């Protein structure tokens, strides 16, 4: 797996899109920090970018990479390599190169700005950690979708739908159900519903840092426990980890049973 | 060498292979022929482990290939469509494939020379023409010394000189006592090199034998007509 | 009155001072307890108490005296009851550590109580393990300065307040530090009180609490991590300037609570990291200027019946919600504030945004209705519905907007 990973990673790191992605983050970081000169606002804007854009890019890149390297994958399949190694290697190649673009692109300007001397270092590293996790999650989901759909157009369609669902529609349904059942105690439900969507989960993880004052205004004991202690942080990170693991296992399983 | 027993494969509702029994002995060139959709590629991919059969077994040198991947060290495969990671160079690609094989004695330098690929070694694969890519593809296939070689449409996109060199490579391999499995649409090419023909039709082996036997059976003077006759008789 | 004071100073005080004695109290001295010293002292004497631990309570001071602690002697009340009770004008208590005030559910025992007296001075004392700290009752014209009060309150029902004023006038409360009691400073029916440069931290209920008190001021105080910062209720003409309200977190926590307050000024304060910066109910004609609201959950929650308030030149920085309203009506003016959430532009470069800013978001309305929805804060979906509400307000007051939002954070110093 490591060999495949190494070469897909090399390949991707030299691709135009990696540079575009990297430069986008670099530019974003520079604009936010040096033109606006306001660290707090930069972190908030970044959060919006990270929870919306990172999943989208991860999904599109994942699907695109899978379909584009289909013929090469067939060549690899005829080599004495385990199937799971091929797909996991390619997956980690894509996910790591995307993560690296994100971390270097954003981290560069921030380091230069002197984040290490500022108290925002934790907020910022949390942003990068969730960004990386979201990349891992959505690239994996993209691979799953691509593995289950031979048809490229269909695969793309499903991938975009998945993103749209996770980033927007899910929250709409979530909000409606909360308002519809407002007479019932809902804090457990809302926590579970949050756990089931990695985008929401990452958002809440960042909220724990940014908006803790507002979150603590809520009365429920479950929320209080979740928001008020490090329990929330640990649980959210654990769930995000699970969100990486499960699709990766599905990739592994599907790769073993698929015909090419 | 290869022993295929009662091989079945279905894609959705489409029964592609319906009970293939085939034994291929060591040494010689075998051409797998058949109309589109007859199951040629599926058969080859089954041997390579890319397609997992619904029923039946495939044995290579006596041991089943099921749930095994190391056996592929004994196979060199030339895929039909050559498409490589665009941002790697030719040299890196060769190195990568070498990395993946346990067989470390390679002939890549001689082959690069044969196909005059030196000027392209440090070029990115995305910048190569289709023909050059096919040459790279051939290098990747022939640089190892494996007892079984599988070629899927090897002549696609080759210029006449490379075509000749390919034929030389194939006959060299045959002389070394290797087994070579070929699919091709170019009948003259098949006629020229194949020792034996395996003709597939609707997922079954319709004919197996030498070109001479084929001509005899169809009572046609030349190979192309023999194939055509076999097809029309089967449709009639 | 002034002239009378002058004659007193000129003719009466000098003989008194020259006759005034100093009585020294220490373990081995002739006078070894404070109670005894008070008994033998004449009016205007000074009692110097040397370092040591004095196990005494119910020390009643009934004549004008100066009690001076030398090297911070300790008076240990042994949890028996009140420790010092002043019932005379012109009493000074300076430099003591007073510990172990008795706790009672029927009597409000204090470390130092002043009853119906004037011209008192209570300074540089440290009060610990107390019920009530300094309790001023119907007393006027005194000072409470530089005291440190450190309680160990756990529950509201069996704990007292740090500094309490009841029916007092013209008192200065300054440079005190109050921690871990019920209310840090509590005023009831007290007018013309000036509270400044105090620190009120970690108190169970309020850092500072006004009830039915008028014409008071509090300035330059720090209120941090209290159950709620400051509660001002049923009072008029309160001046609140240059205070800092920080980290008042919790379900009912706020930096400042205004309830039935009229004609107040709230200027130059900083509200930082509170669940609610200011909670306003039934308060009218209040002038909010040059305040900073930073990183609060809600910078301001306006709940009904608030009229003719003005909010100008404030900075609203990175609050989860800037303003929340629970009605569709608005009679308050928001003008020339800086809102970090403002996304408009300034084409004519006059420092004022060309499109108005609406500080009330649809989502704050939703959260008011269904509190659990807070978990969707900053979701893309919420941004989308907030945007559509901004374009055509349906649930939020449509005339509530800052017509002249500032483009840059307001530098308050340049206005003074």
Q: State yes or no: pLDDT of A116 exceeds 70.
A: no
Contact B120, B132 (CB under 8 A): yes
The two three-digit tokens of residue A122, written as one number: 């934790």
A-chain CB neighbours of B70 within 8 Å are 80
A-chain CB neighbours of C301 within 8 Å are none
Looking up tokens 């290579």, which residue turns up? B60
* Mean pLDDT rounded to a whole number for chain A: 87
Minimal-distance CA residue of chain B relative to A6: B96
- Angle at CA of residue C285, ends C283 and C291, nearest 5°: 85
DSSP SS3 for C69: strand
Tens-level pLDDT at each residue, chain C (416 residues): 556 555 555 555 544 444 678 999 988 888 889 999 999 999 999 999 999 999 999 999 999 999 999 999 999 999 888 999 999 999 999 999 999 998 887 888 999 999 999 999 999 999 999 899 999 999 999 999 999 999 988 887 778 899 999 999 999 999 999 999 999 999 999 999 999 999 999 999 999 999 999 999 999 999 999 988 999 999 999 999 999 999 988 877 899 999 999 999 999 999 999 999 999 999 999 999 999 999 998 999 998 788 899 999 999 998 989 999 887 778 899 999 999 988 889 999 999 999 999 999 899 888 888 888 888 988 999 999 998 888 888 888 888 899 999 999 999 887 65
User: B102, A260: Cβ pair inside 8 Å?
Assistant: no
User: B96, A75: Cβ pair inside 8 Å?
Assistant: no
Minimal-distance CA residue of chain C relative to A175: C373
- Mind listing the domains of chain C with CATH numbers? 20-226 (2.160.20.10), 235-360+397-416 (no CATH)
Q: Which pLDDT score is estimated for A219?
A: 66
Q: CA of C187 to nearest chain A CA: how many angstroms apart?
A: 27
C380 burial (CB, 10 Å; 0-12 / 13-18 / 19+) is: middle
Interfacial residues of A (vs B; Cβ cutoff 8 Å): 3, 7-8, 10-15, 69-72, 74-83, 257-260
C-chain CB neighbours of A175 within 8 Å are 366, 373, 376, 381-382
Q: State yes or no: pLDDT of B103 exceeds 80.
A: no
- From B11, B85, B100, residue closest to A72, measured CB to CB: B85
User: A79, B100: Cβ pair inside 8 Å?
Assistant: yes
Backbone torsions φ then ψ of C14, nearest 5 degrees: -55, -50
User: C318, A224: Cβ pair inside 8 Å?
Assistant: no
Q: Chains meeting A at 3+ CB pairs closer than 8 A?
A: B, C
User: A79, B88: Cβ pair inside 8 Å?
Assistant: no
User: B71, A80: Cβ pair inside 8 Å?
Assistant: yes
User: A203, C276: Cβ pair inside 8 Å?
Assistant: no
Domain ranges for chain B: 2-235
Contact C318, C295 (CB under 8 A): yes
Phi-psi sector, C161: left (phi>0), alpha (psi -120 to 50), beta: beta
The arithmetic mean of pLDDT across residues B9-31, rounded, is 87
User: Hey, which of A33-47, B7-21, C196-210, C240-254 has the most confident mean pLDDT?
Assistant: C196-210
Contacts for B109 with CB less than 8 Å, ≥ 6 apart: none
Q: Where are the alpha helices (DSSP H) in C213-327?
A: none
Q: State yes or no: pLDDT of A55 exceeds 70.
A: yes
Using CA atoms, how far apart are residues A251 and A89, in angstroms rounded to an integer?
11
User: A179, C374: Cβ pair inside 8 Å?
Assistant: no
DSSP SS3 for C108: coil
A-chain CB neighbours of B97 within 8 Å are 79
Using CA atoms, how far apart are residues C134 and B110, in angstroms rounded to an integer?
99
Q: Which pLDDT score is estimated for C188?
A: 95
- Angle at CA of residue C169, ends C166 and C175, nearest 5°: 85
Q: CA of B21 to nearest chain A CA: how many angstroms apart?
A: 21
User: B83, A72: Cβ pair inside 8 Å?
Assistant: yes
The two three-digit tokens of residue B157, written as one number: 């996109």
User: C297, A214: Cβ pair inside 8 Å?
Assistant: yes
User: C295, A182: Cβ pair inside 8 Å?
Assistant: no
C-chain CB neighbours of A203 within 8 Å are 377-379
Contacts for B13 with CB less than 8 Å, ≥ 6 apart: none
Q: Give chain A's end-to-end CA distance (angstroms, integer).
A: 19
Chains C and B touch (3+ CB pairs under 8 A): no
Q: Where are the alpha helices (DSSP H) in chain B?
A: 40-48, 90-100, 108-114, 130-142, 160-175, 187-193, 211-218, 223-235
Which of the residues A7, A83, A94, A255 would you substitute to probe the B interface, choosing the one with the greatest number of B C-beta atoms within 10 Å? A7
The two three-digit tokens of residue C395, written as one number: 């649930």
User: C251, A217: Cβ pair inside 8 Å?
Assistant: yes
Contact C104, C80 (CB under 8 A): no
- From B52, B87, B101, residue closest to A80, measured CB to CB: B101
DSSP state at residue B144? S
B-chain CB neighbours of A83 within 8 Å are 69
- From A71, A80, A260, residue closest to B70, measured CB to CB: A80
Which of the residues C340, C374, C386, C408 would you substitute to probe the A interface, choosing the one with the greatest number of A C-beta atoms within 10 Å? C374
E strands in C81-224: 84-86, 92-94, 97-99, 110-115, 121-123, 126-128, 132-137, 143-145, 148-150, 163-166, 172-174, 177-179, 185-188, 194-196, 199-201, 206-211, 217-219, 222-224
User: A178, C249: Cβ pair inside 8 Å?
Assistant: no
C300-313 in b/e form (b: 16+ CB < 10 A) is bbbbeebeebebbb
User: B96, A70: Cβ pair inside 8 Å?
Assistant: no
Q: State yes or no: pLDDT of B183 exceeds 50.
A: yes
User: A175, C318: Cβ pair inside 8 Å?
Assistant: no
Confidence class for position A41, pLDDT limits 50, 70, 90: confident
User: A82, B72: Cβ pair inside 8 Å?
Assistant: no
Using CA atoms, how far apart are residues A24 and B27, in angstroms rounded to an integer?
57
Q: At what angle do helices A70-77 and A39-68 cross, to 10 degrees?
A: 60
Q: State yes or no: pLDDT of B236 exceeds 50.
A: no
Using CA atoms, how far apart are residues A53 and A131, in angstroms rounded to an integer?
10
Give the range among A195-199, A210-214, C264-268, C412-416 with minimum mean pLDDT. C412-416
Q: Give chain B's end-to-end CA distance (angstroms, integer).
A: 36
Minimal-distance CA residue of chain C relative to A208: C375
Q: CA of B225 to nearest chain A CA: how many angstroms apart?
A: 33
User: C320, A214: Cβ pair inside 8 Å?
Assistant: yes
User: B72, A3: Cβ pair inside 8 Å?
Assistant: no
DSSP-assigned beta bridge partners for residue C178: C149, C200
CATH class of B2-235: alpha beta
How far from chain centre, in Å, is Cα B133?
Answer: 17
Minimal-distance CA residue of chain A relative to B11: A259
| Count of CB atoms situated within 10 Å of the CB of C93 | 28
User: A171, C380: Cβ pair inside 8 Å?
Assistant: yes
DSSP string, chain A: -HHHHHHHHHHHHTSHHHHHHHHHHHHHHHIIIIIS--HHHHHHHHHHHHHHHHHHHHHHHHHHHHHHTHHHHHHHHTSSS-HHHHHHHHHHHHHHHHHHHHHHHHHHHHHHHTGGGSTTHHHHHHHHHHHHHHHHHHHHHHHHHHHH---HHHHHHHHHHHHHIIIIIHHHHHHHHHHHTTTS--HHHHHHHHHT-HHHHHHHHHHHHHSHHHHTT---HHHHHHHHSHHHHHHHHHHHHHHHHHHHHHHHHHHHH---
Phi-psi sector, C177: left (phi>0), alpha (psi -120 to 50), beta: beta
Using CA atoms, how far apart are residues A75 and B173, in angstroms rounded to an integer?
21
B-chain CB neighbours of A13 within 8 Å are 87
Minimal-distance CA residue of chain A relative to B125: A11
- SS3 percent helix, strand, coil of chain C, rounded to 5, is 15, 40, 50
C-chain CB neighbours of A50 within 8 Å are none
- From C298, C372, C379, residue closest to A214, measured CB to CB: C298
User: A3, B99: Cβ pair inside 8 Å?
Assistant: yes
Contact A188, A218 (CB under 8 A): no
- From C275, C317, C378, residue closest to A213, measured CB to CB: C275
Which of the residues A67, A79, A84, A85 would you substitute to probe the B interface, choosing the one with the greatest number of B C-beta atoms within 10 Å? A79
Using CA atoms, how far apart are residues C45 and C22, in angstroms rounded to an integer?
6
Q: CA of A126 to nearest chain C CA: how many angstroms apart?
A: 16
């Amino acid at each position: 797996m490591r060999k495949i990973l190494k070469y897909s990673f090399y390949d991707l790191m030299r691709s135009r899109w990696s540079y575009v992605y990297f430069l986008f983050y670099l530019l974003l970081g520079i604009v936010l920090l040096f033109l606006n000169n306001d660290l707090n606002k930069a972190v908030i804007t970044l959060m919006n970018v990270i929870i919306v854009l990172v999943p989208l890019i991860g999904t599109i890149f994942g699907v695109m990479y899978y379909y584009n390297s289909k013929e090469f994958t067939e060549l690899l399949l005829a080599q004495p390599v385990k199937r799971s190694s091929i797909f996991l290697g390619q997956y980690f190649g894509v996910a790591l190169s995307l993560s690296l673009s994100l971390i270097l692109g954003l981290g560069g300007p921030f380091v230069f700005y002197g984040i290490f001397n500022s108290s925002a270092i934790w907020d910022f590293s949390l942003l990068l950690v969730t960004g990386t996790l979201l990349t891992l999650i959505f690239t994996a989901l993209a691979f799953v979708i691509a593995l289950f759909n031979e048809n490229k157009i269909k695969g793309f369609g499903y991938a975009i739908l998945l993103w749209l669902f996770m980033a927007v529609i899910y929250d709409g349904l979530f909000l409606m159900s909360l308002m519809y059942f407002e007479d019932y105690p809902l804090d457990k439900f809302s926590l579970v519903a949050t756990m089931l969507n990695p985008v929401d989960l990452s958002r809440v993880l960042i909220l724990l840092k940014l908006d803790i004052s507002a979150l603590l205004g809520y009365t429920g004991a479950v929320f209080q426990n979740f928001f008020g202690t490090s329990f929330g942080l640990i649980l959210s990170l654990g769930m995000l980890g699970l969100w990486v693991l499960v699709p990766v296992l599905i990739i592994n399983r599907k790769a073993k049973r698929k015909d090419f | 060498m290869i022993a295929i027993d009662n091989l079945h494969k279905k894609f959705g509702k489409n029964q592609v292979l319906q009970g293939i029994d085939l034994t291929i002995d060591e040494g010689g060139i075998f051409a797998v022929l058949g109309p589109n959709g007859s199951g040629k590629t599926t058969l080859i991919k089954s041997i390579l482990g890319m397609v997992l059969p619904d029923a039946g077994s495939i044995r290579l040198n006596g041991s089943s290939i099921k749930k095994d991947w190391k056996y592929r060290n004994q196979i060199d495969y030339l895929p039909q469509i050559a498409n490589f990671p665009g941002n790697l160079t030719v040299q890196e690609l060769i190195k990568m494939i070498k990395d993946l094989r346990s067989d470390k004695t390679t002939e890549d330098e001689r082959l690069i020379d044969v196909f005059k690929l030196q000027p392209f070694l440090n070029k990115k694969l995305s910048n190569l023409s289709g023909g050059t890519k096919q040459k790279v593809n051939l290098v990747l296939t022939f640089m190892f010394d494996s007892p079984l070689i599988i070629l899927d449409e090897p002549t696609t996109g080759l210029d006449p000189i490379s075509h000749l060199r390919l034929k030389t490579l194939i006959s060299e391999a045959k002389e070394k006592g290797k087994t070579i499995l070929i699919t091709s649409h170019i009948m003259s090419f098949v006629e020229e090199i194949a020792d034996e023909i395996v003709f597939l039709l609707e997922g079954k082996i319709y004919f197996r034998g030498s070109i001479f036997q084929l001509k005899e059976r169809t009572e046609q003077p030349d190979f192309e007509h023999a194939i055509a006759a076999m097809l029309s008789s089967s449709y009639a | 009155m002034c002239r009378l004071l002058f004659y007193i100073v000129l003719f009466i005080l000098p003989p008194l001072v020259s006759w005034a004695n100093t009585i020294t109290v220490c373990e081995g001295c002739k006078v070894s307890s404070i109670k005894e010293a008070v008994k033998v002292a004449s009016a205007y004497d000074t009692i110097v108490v040397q370092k040591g631990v004095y196990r005494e309570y119910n020390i009643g001071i009934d004549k004008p005296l100066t009690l001076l602690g030398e090297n911070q002697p300790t008076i240990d009340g042994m949890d028996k009851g009140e420790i010092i009770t002043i019932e005379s004008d012109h009493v000074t208590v300076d430099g003591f550590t007073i510990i172990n005030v008795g706790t009672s559910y029927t009597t409000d025992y204090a470390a130092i109580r002043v009853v119906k007296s004037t011209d008192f001075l209570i300074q540089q004392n440290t009060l610990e393990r107390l019920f009530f700290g300094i309790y001023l009752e119907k007393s006027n014209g005194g000072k409470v300065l530089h005291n440190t009060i450190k309680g160990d309150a756990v529950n509201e029902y069996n704990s007292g307040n740090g500094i309490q004023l009841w029916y007092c006038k013209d008192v200065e409360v300054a440079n005190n530090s109050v921690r871990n009691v019920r209310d840090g400073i509590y005023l009831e029916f007290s007018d013309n009180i000036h509270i400044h440069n105090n620190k009120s931290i970690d108190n169970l209920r309020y850092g500072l609490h006004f009830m039915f008190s008028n014409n008071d001021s509090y300035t330059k105080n720090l209120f941090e991590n209290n159950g709620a910062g400051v509660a001002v209720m049923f009072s008029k003409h309160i001046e609140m300037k240059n205070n800092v309200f920080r980290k008042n977190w919790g379900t009912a926590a706020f930096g400042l609570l205004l309830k039935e307050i009229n004609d107040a000024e709230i200027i130059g304060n900083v509200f930082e990291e509170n669940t609610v910066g200011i909670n306003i109910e039934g308060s009218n004609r209040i002038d909010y200027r040059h305040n900073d609201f930073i990183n609060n959950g809600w910078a301001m929650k306006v709940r009904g019946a608030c009229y003719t308030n003005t909010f100008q030149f404030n900075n609203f920085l990175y609050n989860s919600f800037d303003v929340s309203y629970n009605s569709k009506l608005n009679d308050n003016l928001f003008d020339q504030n800086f809102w970090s959430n403002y996304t408009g532009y300034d084409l004519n470069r006059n420092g004022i945004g060309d499109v108005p800013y609406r500080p009330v978001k649809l989502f704050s309305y939703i959260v008011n209705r269904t509190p659990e929805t807070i978990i969707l804060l900053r979701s893309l979906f919420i941004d989308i519905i907030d945007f559509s509400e901004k374009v055509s307000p349906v649930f939020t007051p449509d005339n509530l907007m800052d017509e002249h939002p500032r483009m840059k954070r307001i530098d308050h110093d340049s206005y003074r």
